[in-house]
């Protein structure tokens, strides 16, 4: 039996999400005085909204 769906067909079927994924890194100061870095990925609609992230 031959395959009915090729890899190219699968790739075409996936929808591209509109928006941009940005890596956001926050720093927090611990009680001991050292810094802790928390990083996460955030999806935004427009690149100009990067400055509005908190």
In tens, the pLDDT along 1-54 reads: 677 888 888 877 777 777 889 999 999 999 999 999 999 999 998 888 888 887
The C-alpha torsion from 21 through 16 and 7 to 5, rounded to 10°, is: 140
5 pairs with which residues across the strands?
Answer: none
Domain locations along the chain: 17-46
Residue 35, SS3 per DSSP:
strand
Radius of gyration of the chain, Cα coordinates, nearest whole angstrom: 20
45 to each of 7, 37, 39, how far by Cα in Å? 29, 25, 19
pLDDT attached to residue 1: 67
pLDDT attached to residue 52: 87
- Overall pTM surpassing 0.85 (yes/no): no
């Amino acid at each position: 039996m031959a395959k009915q769906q090729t890899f190219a067909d699968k790739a075409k079927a996936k929808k591209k999400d509109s928006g941009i994924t940005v890596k956001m890194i926050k720093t927090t100061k611990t009680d001991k005085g050292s810094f802790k870095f928390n990083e996460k990925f955030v999806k935004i609609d427009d690149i100009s909204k990067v400055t509005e992230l908190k």
